[in-house]
Structure 1
Amino acid sequence: MKTLLMGAVGALALIGAAQAAEMKFALIPKGMDNPYFDLSRDGCMAEAKKLGVTCIYKGPATHEPATEVQIMQDFVTQGVDGIAISVADADSVTGVIKQARDANIPVITFDADAPNSARQAYIGTDNKAMGRELGQQLIKAHPKAGTFATQSGGPAAQNLNERLAGLYEVLKGAGWTEVKGSPAFCNDDAALAAQQLTDFYTANPDISAIIPVGGWALFAPKAYQNFVNTVREKRKDMPLVMPDTLPVELQTLKDGYADVLVGQRPYEMGEKAMDALLKLKKGEKVDPVTIVGLDVVTKDNVDKFLK
């Protein structure tokens, strides 16, 4: 009898493992050309391997909300076991998220939320807190109130709008003034982002700071370095406070082209997305909001992050 029971338990375990191995979860970034999301992909793939499930990483080739919606629609049609999406336009995804939930497909958001949708959880940064941190780091480097410009990705991105709100709260609360034409929107295009920083400086040569809420320009290293060199030929007093801590950005700081980085943890978002989707698929509960931390990097601790 004991042998039979052990055999039955073993068989059930094998069935459970086989079922898990058949599960396919989709991770949808805002744009496949954004290196930031490569880390979310890597975290997703690594955690999926540990869990014995499959992570399918697919999004628009570049930032395009309508294409993102279509890709999610395709995953719903295919009947994947769960979807995690970084939302480019919160309003545009509401309908397709409801379709997925009506089809009993678990849906969570990561990195960028759609809080008024039927999504079951959000995993990512406290974006308003990140905006505040960017502002506080700028004031630490430049205590006297001055003029500033900022830059965002897409105007409909919930996460970026929250960052802008946090940044404005700190800077405008401290007496800083935003210049005309700010914020600029680069649609997650690195080359355009670097050009917009240069344009802000050209139009406002006495500006106190240019502080984006995303690190897009740093993914066009040569163009970004040209911008910094142009500024520093005439100005030594403009602090360069930039978002995110990907390897290329860390090296940029180490090379002297940034003073402070305020970084997110996209790899951890990818890991936690797989954990949450598997739990939801099994009928288990997950926290409705999971906040991953921020990292503040300067020349004093950059080597630690580059290891």
Structure 2
Amino acid sequence: MRKALLAAAVLAMMASPGFAQSYKFVIVPKAMNNPFFDFARDGCQKRAKELGNIECIYKGPVEHEPATQAQIIQDFITQKVDGLAISVADVAAMTKSIEAATAAGITVITFDADAPGSKRIAYIGTDNKEFGVALGKQLLKLRPDGGKYAMISGGPGAENLAERVNGVREALKGSKWTEVGGSPTFCNDDPALGVQQMTDLRTAVPDLAAIVPVGGWPMFAPEGFKAFASKSKKDIDAGKFTLVVADTLKMQLELLNEGYANALIGQRPFEMGEKAMDTLLAIKKGQKVPEIIHTGLDVVTKDNVAAMLK
């Protein structure tokens, strides 16, 4: 009898408006060696601490490996976590993982990279088509005279990166810019490989006028990027070779400030981490959330980079 009364009291307390149930929410990046995702982790952990009843867990593949990401998701399904926020490395593989998590009663949203045909409830992050268009427009603004250009992308199965590539092409359509064969190259989110691909492109196409990485990967290896850009510094300063790069991490802002790039178009990964926690919690509380939550872009050039560094 006493046990029954105690159980009833606990249930009543949990049902009361003031009771804050605790949750385990997981941020799953494409790759943990990509510093971009460190900011999403920091935003997630900050917001979880503010909310008080959430534990933010951050775990993904060390490198860009879709199969490993799928296995990590399966492990969290087994652990019966309360919610997942996934940056989708490969749409086909992750659509299956999201379906499995949903079938297990786990709330799933995506951030940074989406799988729009999956059973995820919401996407938080950049409008990637708009992002690509912004990269292309910035190149066109800097160099309306045009020339040959190439893009560097990450993983070929990432829908968000494909949208950026298409956005760049859309912005430059009808202009004097022409994309070289073999573009984009795919560095699989590997910074060192991204730098090597820039070098290879410059060697293969001596009159290449611009490179547009649709993610910040080459600059995430700052010393390697600086070594590459130093060899082209005279052409960069003279406006004969242009580098418009995605993302605005501190190391990138510093490289831009030192004249090793011409412009950056930045996302807001810290805000993605914060909103992921808010969104997962709202869903768990039975609240309706927008299916698409865009976090905006920042355009940084030599004119405002000093202010951004502050």
Q: Tell me the TM-score normalised to structure 2 length.
A: 0.92
CA distance in 2 between partners of 1:41 and 1:126 (Å): 20
Alignment match, 2:113: 112
Which secondary structure state, in structure 2, belongs to the residue aligned with residue 181 of structure 1? coil
Q: How many residue pairs align between the two structures?
A: 296
Alignment match, 1:150: 151
Alignment match, 2:190: 189
TM superposition outliers: structure 1 runs of 4+ over 4 Å: 8-11
Contact 1:113 1:158 in 2 (8 A): yes
Contact 1:279 1:286 in 2 (8 A): yes
Which secondary structure state, in structure 1, belongs to the residue aligned with residue 173 of structure 2? helix
Shift of 1:174: 1.6
Pair 1:208-2:189 in alignment: no
Alignment match, 1:24: 24
Alignment match, 1:296: 299
Q: Which digits, 9 at most, give the CA deviation of each residue in 1:173-214, with x for residues without a partner? A: 324211122111000000010010011011111111111101
CA distance in 2 between partners of 1:227 and 1:165 (Å): 26
Which secondary structure state, in structure 2, belongs to the residue aligned with residue 174 of structure 1? coil
Q: Which digits, 9 at most, give the CA deviation of each residue in 1:131-152, with x for residues without a partner? A: 0000000011100121111110
Alignment match, 2:277: 274
Which secondary structure state, in structure 1, belongs to the residue aligned with residue 56 of structure 2? strand
- The structure-2 alpha-carbon separation of the partners of 1:290 and 1:203, relative to structure 1 and needing over 3 Å to count, comes to same
CA distance in 2 between partners of 1:289 and 1:10 (Å): 31
CA distance in 2 between partners of 1:144 and 1:173 (Å): 12
Which secondary structure state, in structure 2, belongs to the residue aligned with residue 128 of structure 1? helix
Alignment match, 1:4: none
Pair 1:135-2:100 in alignment: no
CA distance in 2 between partners of 1:190 and 1:9 (Å): 51
Pair 1:223-2:224 in alignment: yes
Which secondary structure state, in structure 1, belongs to the residue aligned with residue 27 of structure 2? strand
Q: Which digits, 9 at most, give the CA deviation of each residue in 1:104-158, with x for residues without a partner? A: 2110000000000000000000001010000000011100121111110000101
CA distance in 2 between partners of 1:232 and 1:50 (Å): 46
Please identify, of 186-195 and 220-229, the stretch whose mean Cα deviation from structure 2 is larger: 220-229
Q: Which digits, 9 at most, give the CA deviation of each residue in 1:234-266, with x for residues without a partner? A: 563212211111111111111111111100000
CA distance in 1 between partners of 2:218 and 2:282 (Å): 37
Pair 1:166-2:167 in alignment: yes
Alignment match, 2:55: 54
Cα root mean square deviation, aligned:
1.6
CA distance in 2 between partners of 1:262 and 1:195 (Å): 22
Shift of 1:13: 5.6
CA distance in 1 between partners of 2:167 and 2:98 (Å): 27
Alignment match, 1:102: 103
Pair 1:41-2:44 in alignment: no
CA distance in 2 between partners of 1:233 and 1:143 (Å): 19
CA distance in 2 between partners of 1:196 and 1:247 (Å): 22
Contact 2:144 2:176 in 1 (8 A): no
Alignment match, 2:4: none
247, 251, 255: which one pairs with 2:250? Answer: 247
Contact 1:201 1:207 in 2 (8 A): yes
CA distance in 2 between partners of 1:211 and 1:9 (Å): 56
- The one-letter amino acid of 2:156's match is P
Shift of 1:11: 10
Alignment match, 2:8: none
CA distance in 1 between partners of 2:13 and 2:185 (Å): 60
Which secondary structure state, in structure 2, belongs to the residue aligned with residue 98 of structure 1? helix
Shift of 1:286: 0.6
- The structure-2 alpha-carbon separation of the partners of 1:271 and 1:135, relative to structure 1 and needing over 3 Å to count, comes to same
CA distance in 2 between partners of 1:67 and 1:218 (Å): 25
Shift of 1:303: 2.0
Alignment match, 2:286: 283
- The structure-2 alpha-carbon separation of the partners of 1:10 and 1:154, relative to structure 1 and needing over 3 Å to count, comes to closer
Shift of 1:12: 3.7
Task: Provide structure 2 residue ranges, at least 5 long, that are not aligned to the other structure.
Answer: 1-11
Q: Tell me the TM-score normalised to structure 1 length.
A: 0.93
